[in-house]
Amino acid sequence: MKKSHNLAFGQTIRELRKAKNLSQEALAFDAGFDRTYISLLELGTKSPTLDTIMALCRALDIEFAQLALRVQALVREEHD
């Protein structure tokens, strides 16, 4: 089965979070969410709103466009 956009988004968030040595709890605190919500996003079971994406970008210190390109690259990988 092909990777969904939510799975690609979650994988990207997890990779960025780990690269910054942040726990899910620390990222959740920085972005203003509950740790369980970060877990659900990383697992691809929740679809984030634009407000959520922007809060995560701020917390991870990444531009929205950079995040979108990373997610798009993962989706393309799965389709190739």
pLDDT in tens, 27-70: 999 999 999 999 999 999 999 999 999 999 999 999 999 999 99
- Residues with Cβ within 8 Å of residue 78, at least 6 apart in sequence: 2, 3, 8
**Which pTM value belongs to this model?**
0.91
- pLDDT band for 3, please (50, 70, 90 cuts): low
Q: How many helices (H) and strands (E) does the chain have?
A: 5, 0
Domain ranges, residue 58: 5-79
Give the number of domains in the chain.
1
pLDDT in tens, 59-68: 999 999 999 9
**Which residue's structure tokens are 């509950």?**
34
Residue 2's nearest CA partner among 74, 67, 56, 65 is 74
The domain that contains 31 carries what CATH number?
A: 1.10.260.40
d(CA 49, CA 52) in angstroms, rounded, equals: 5
